[in-house]
C-alpha cells in the first residue's frame, strides 16, 4: 500500500447502509484519509444522488458506471459536472426480452412498470415491478441465489450491456463498456495515474456484483462486508 495515491470507494454497503446518510464517524475518517490520499467515489447511481446522500461531502464522484463524472469545486462548494453521457435504448426489444424472463420464470405478478429506463441509457429489470413494496423487495432474494441462478442467461440476452445483480430484487444494466472497472480505467488515463497507485474499497464483489469487475482486475482491492467495519478496513491506510 506504500505506493497508493488514490482511494476509490463504493458508497452503499461500503461507507453507509443502503441509501442512508454518511455518518459523522465515517465523515471524520474520510477527512483523515483525504490528508494523505485523493479520494473518489465510484457509483452506480447519479453523481447528484451520491453527493446528496453524503450531505455534500467535498469529493469527486464518478456516477452511472462512468457515464457521469463530477469534480468538487471548493469555490462554489458544489459539484462541477465534467461528463454526462447518455445512450438510446431500444425499448421495444428490451420489453420483449424482459417479458420473456417473466414468463419463463414466473415473474408475471408485478406492480408498476415492466422495465425502468434511466436518462443515461442504463436499464433496470425490476422483477417485482417499479412500484413494488419495499418489504416485498427485501424478502424476495436476500441471498441473491434466485437472480444468480439465471444471471448468465440474462447476460446472454442483453449482449450490449454489462449486467449486475442490483439492489434486492432487480437486474441493473449499463451499456458496454461502462462498468466500474472501465470508469476507473478512464479516470486513471485522464489523470496520469497508474493502476498500482489506486486502491478500491467495495462490498459488492461477488458474482454479478457491481464491484466485481474491479475486484477481478489489476487494481488493489480492499473487501468489506459490513459498512460498520469501514474503520477497520482503512486502518492500514492511515
Spatial distance between the Cα atoms of 66 and 62, rounded to a whole number of angstroms? 6
What backbone torsions phi and psi does residue 196 show, to the nearest 5 degrees?
A: -70, -15
* Beta-strand runs (E) in 94-141: 116-117, 123-126
* C-alpha cell belonging to residue 211: 464491484
Sign, CA dihedral 112-95-122-139, equals positive
Q: Which domains does the chain have, with CATH numbers?
A: 6-85+178-237 (3.40.50.1000), 91-175 (3.30.1240.20)
- Predicted confidence (pLDDT) at residue 213 exceeds the cutoff of 90: yes
For the chain, the helix, strand and coil percentages under 3-state DSSP, each to the nearest 5: 35, 25, 40
| DSSP track, 6-64 | EEEE--BTTTBSTTPPPPHHHHHHHHHHHTTSEEEEE-SS-HHHHHHHTTS-S-EEEEG
pLDDT tens string 10-69 = 999 999 998 899 999 999 999 999 999 999 999 999 999 999 999 999 999 999 999 999
pLDDT at residue 197, as a whole number: 98
Amino acid at each position: 500500500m506504500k505506493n497508493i495515491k488514490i482511494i476509490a470507494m463504493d458508497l452503499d454497503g461500503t461507507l453507509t447502509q443502503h441509501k442512508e446518510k454518511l455518518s459523522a464517524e465515517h465523515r471524520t475518517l474520510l477527512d483523515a484519509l483525504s490528508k494523505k490520499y485523493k479520494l473518489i467515489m465510484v457509483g452506480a447511481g447519479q453523481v447528484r444522488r451520491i453527493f446528496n446522500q453524503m450531505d455534500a461531502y467535498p469529493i469527486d464522484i464518478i456516477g452511472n458506471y462512468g457515464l457521469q463524472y463530477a469534480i468538487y469545486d471548493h469555490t462554489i462548494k458544489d459539484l462541477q459536472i465534467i461528463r454526462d453521457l447518455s445512450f438510446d435504448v431500444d425499448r421495444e426489444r428490451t420489453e420483449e426480452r424482459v417479458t420473456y424472463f417473466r414468463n419463463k420464470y414466473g415473474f408475471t405478478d408485478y406492480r408498476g412498470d415492466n422495465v425502468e429506463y434511466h436518462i443515461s441509457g442504463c436499464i433496470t429489470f425490476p422483477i417485482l415491478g417499479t412500484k413494488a413494496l419495499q418489504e416485498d423487495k427485501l424478502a424476495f432474494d436476500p441471498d441473491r441465489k434466485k437472480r444468480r441462478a439465471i444471471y448468465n442467461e440474462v447476460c446472454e440476452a442483453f449482449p450490449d450491456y454489462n449486467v449486475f445483480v442490483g439492489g434486492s430484487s432487480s437486474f441493473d444494466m449499463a451499456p458496454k463498456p461502462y462498468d466500474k472497472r472501465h470508469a476507473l480505467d478512464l479516470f486513471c488515463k485522464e489523470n496520469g495515474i497508474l493502476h498500482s497507485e489506486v486502491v478500491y474499497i467495495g462490498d459488492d464483489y461477488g458474482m454479478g456484483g457491481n464491484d466485481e469487475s474491479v475486484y477481478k482486475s489489476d487494481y488493489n482491492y480492499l473487501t468489506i462486508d459490513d459498512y460498520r467495519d469501514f474503520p477497520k478496513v482503512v486502518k492500514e491506510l492511515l
